[in-house]
Structure 1
């Protein structure tokens, strides 16, 4: 049985519902985030901040924190007094707040962090893995992370060895074995892990691949469509904006409203919502004129906005 809970808003209060659309944690919070690894960040109306479990128990309280991130690979990024660190699920500091910034938690529980304007890689206990020598260092995805020095970007492995030289003006993380890059900041294509273009740099803008499809558009102000990993434009350019495919569906914008399409470009919901989010653990969250709701992959309501 799926016990995942979903963030829900009702009358300016936040709580959580289950996959059947039933309230499990009533709307009682000023702010919430989705559950991640069994914990969710919340803020109460008397300004307490911390993490609750699925039983609505505040198991970690950090009222003085300026930022509380979601848990990922056993750690959550937090900030205190303008510095960043990481806590574990017991609320203990795995890394005391001493960094200027932390990018994201990698699958190995390492993270890219900024020290005095330079970025390096550190393990879960804040031990240095790669010296902070980069102007920017991304999260590791599929074994590689992008880095930037002197305005040029490339990719390194987890040992700090350069795998793809820094010849690009702009890059994204690898997804599905491909990363979008640009040599001139204007024309984008996809490279493989050898740094070879497999989809030529002829696009004005690209999204990352997800479930084998990536959003693209060919000119500024142009419509969006989707291409596959062979570079074939499989869904025509007809949308104002597009998001990633998750669980076979993607949110798209058309005529100032949002809906969902399947992998063939067919609408499941067309131009119905003020906002539509990517699917998450089997449900898609929508906003219908200020009210939240959830649908399943068949396009059926799980939680229907009262005003719909």
Structure 2
């Protein structure tokens, strides 16, 4: 009997020890913590929608609309005003640079709308023969003759033994090419790396990593390594991926291990990357809402649950918070999860890598070091960062503000008992300047924190060319503005022999052209000849058009027009939109009304008139046009190379895809059917 009792006691002891061991076993991974599989799980399929073209026009059915005023008739009034003398235009237009330029001086030239290659000494290496020419670093260029292209060296020699519909050099000295069979990959010497046959190939260069994104079809892709030997079957477009390092990628709150080709965490746990350098992330418990610090492979850095963890700084530290007495208290942890500053503050903010703004349980703020040494007393209501060198420490008593400026290098007060509630550094002027606010008024300070603005204003805005605009907002939607420079000198304008320094609005379009709107609502352009041209429009924005001496205007209410450098109206603000002229195409996109959209030429004519409802640049001097929800393609001469009858059209490389119902056709850049 005694032996049986002894055996029973031993069994009970062993059982209790095993139970105790299990209870005290340290959880070391998030897989154990959340009862997840450490093997990870496959990345969900994703249908990649990738087209090398502009967005397709909407095909939604619209109510029949009455056609507005004929834009052709309107433009006849203004086209002649686009003619400007070369002398005036040259003052504004930048001389166009050659599309292709090499260090030895060899460059492209244009003649009769064709491109060739010429040396610095003027010797023609290649006569003008190409429709399009594209720079490719110092080693060569791509050039198109009609619908086909080839790759040429910088001395004009053709490199490839056949032409292609599309060629794109990569940063890794390879060539993405396209034949009638699809996309492939070559070396710059023409050796085939990938046989043509894919829907599309793009180069991906992120965080010192290089891959080819290869689409087998519009909705199915994978990644191929730089050496074309390693494949990652991950059907997610590059724009949706954050390459953290050579082992992990990140997408939509989850980590992807590119070596195992799996998501690190299955189920719906939200992950935030906190440090790429240390491979640290936080994972959020969906039930408790608490966060845990983990390595990217799922190992727990610490078992401590956090309410919040901020991203790690370059000093390898992060602000973190835990829950105490149902409140969040903040401290600082290092990349190993150890508390450098114990959680004891109700608010904590880095001012720079060595100093923090801390708020204690009594809601008093002070500045501490990362070693939790007090730099200031905890006697402030708030502390605001000015820049990396200074902070503004604020005391509020009986609605009065008394603030000190603290030098963050040594913790000393360099200014005391100031009235400012905030000070922020500006990006204007050659020396440090600041915008300070007090009693809902703003002023500008110099590097010594002395006031330089002529007055205080409701708001201070940035002006052009190292100026500020001080604005006071008055009753009944009225306002007054003054313009002053970095010394505080007011800008004055002389109108009809009277000087003004206060305006409703002021716009410096160029150093020689200004528009002012006075408080009386009278507006004027003042040009280089000191001429005053009356114009009462309240302009919201005016920018150079990239053509001649013309400027695109936008008035409040969103209407666009064009003026010249003398302030004369070329087109009144009657358009819904006008873009600047594209330097390459010499065209400006316009939207007049819902039925009249297209392009304006630099000569003030409408490209293709108003024959089409909408026009979009496709590429290579080709345009996609729309009428009655049908699409076609025109060349720059207005000839329909693909009839306007298709439901959808897009450009993929150098091949145009046209869809009609379920039928899909392919055309080259001349409009010739391929299949």
TM-score between both structures, scaled by the size of structure 2: 0.26
Unaligned runs of 5+ in 2: 1-244, 246-275, 492-505, 509-515, 518-537, 541-555, 559-577, 581-675
User: Partners in 2 of 1:188 and 1:25 — Cα distance?
Assistant: 58
Report the alpha carbon displacement of residue 52 of structure 1 after superposing the two structures with TM: 0.6
Superposed, 1:137-152 pairs within 5 Å as: 137-142=422-427, 143-149=432-438, 151-152=440-441
Aligned to 1:120: 404
Residues 1:70 and 2:350 aligned together: yes
User: Partners in 1 of 2:338 and 2:413 — Cα distance?
Assistant: 35
Aligned to 2:385: 104
| Counterpart contact for 2:426–2:435, Cα < 8 Å | no
Q: Helix, strand or coil for the counterpart of 1:95?
A: coil
| Counterpart contact for 1:190–1:198, Cα < 8 Å | no
Q: 1:41 aligns with which of 319, 322, 331?
A: 319
Superposed, 1:220-235 pairs within 5 Å as: none
User: Partners in 1 of 2:539 and 2:364 — Cα distance?
Assistant: 39
Report the alpha carbon displacement of residue 157 of structure 1 after superposing the two structures with TM: 2.2
Greater relative contact order (Cα 8 A, min sep 6): structure 1 or 2?
2
Report the alpha carbon displacement of residue 151 of structure 1 after superposing the two structures with TM: 4.1
Q: 1:7 to 1:189 in 2, by over 3 A?
A: farther
| Counterpart contact for 1:120–1:129, Cα < 8 Å | yes
Render the CA deviation track for 1:228-249: whole Å, top value 9, x for unaligned: xxxx988xxxxxxxxxxxxxxx
User: Partners in 2 of 1:73 and 1:35 — Cα distance?
Assistant: 11
Q: 1:22 to 1:203 in 2, by over 3 A?
A: farther
Report the alpha carbon displacement of residue 58 of structure 1 after superposing the two structures with TM: 0.9
Instruction: Please identify which structure carries the higher strand content.
Output: 1
Q: Helix, strand or coil for the counterpart of 2:371?
A: coil
TM-score between both structures, scaled by the size of structure 1: 0.52
Render the CA deviation track for 1:158-186: whole Å, top value 9, x for unaligned: 31222333342024699x97878643277
Aligned to 1:159: 448
| Counterpart contact for 2:365–2:382, Cα < 8 Å | yes
Report the alpha carbon displacement of residue 10 of structure 1 after superposing the two structures with TM: 4.3
| Counterpart contact for 1:40–1:70, Cα < 8 Å | no
Q: Helix, strand or coil for the counterpart of 2:277?
A: coil
Render the CA deviation track for 1:85-108: whole Å, top value 9, x for unaligned: 111111111112122221125221
Q: 1:87 to 1:105 in 2, by over 3 A?
A: farther
Aligned to 1:9: 284
User: Partners in 1 of 2:370 and 2:394 — Cα distance?
Assistant: 23
User: Partners in 2 of 1:6 and 1:189 — Cα distance?
Assistant: 49
Unaligned runs of 5+ in 1: 205-217, 223-231, 235-308
User: Partners in 2 of 1:70 and 1:42 — Cα distance?
Assistant: 12
User: Partners in 1 of 2:482 and 2:374 — Cα distance?
Assistant: 39
Q: Helix, strand or coil for the counterpart of 2:449?
A: coil
Aligned to 1:280: none
The farther-off stretch of 98-107 and 135-144 is 135-144
| Counterpart contact for 2:322–2:343, Cα < 8 Å | no
The farther-off stretch of 153-162 and 22-31 is 22-31
Superposed, 1:186-197 pairs within 5 Å as: 194=486
User: Partners in 2 of 1:161 and 1:31 — Cα distance?
Assistant: 40
Residues 1:32 and 2:339 aligned together: no
| Counterpart contact for 1:170–1:181, Cα < 8 Å | yes
The farther-off stretch of 183-192 and 129-138 is 183-192
Aligned to 2:415: 130
User: Partners in 2 of 1:165 and 1:40 — Cα distance?
Assistant: 43
Q: 1:34 to 1:184 in 2, by over 3 A?
A: same
User: Partners in 1 of 2:539 and 2:318 — Cα distance?
Assistant: 39
| Counterpart contact for 1:119–1:137, Cα < 8 Å | no
| Counterpart contact for 1:189–1:203, Cα < 8 Å | no
Select the structure of larger CA radius of gyration: 2
Report the alpha carbon displacement of residue 156 of structure 1 after superposing the two structures with TM: 0.7
Q: 1:189 to 1:91 in 2, by over 3 A?
A: farther
| Counterpart contact for 2:332–2:339, Cα < 8 Å | yes
| Counterpart contact for 1:7–1:34, Cα < 8 Å | no
Report the alpha carbon displacement of residue 127 of structure 1 after superposing the two structures with TM: 2.8
Q: 1:28 to 1:62 in 2, by over 3 A?
A: closer
Q: Helix, strand or coil for the counterpart of 1:72?
A: coil
Q: Helix, strand or coil for the counterpart of 2:305?
A: strand
User: Partners in 2 of 1:182 and 1:148 — Cα distance?
Assistant: 13
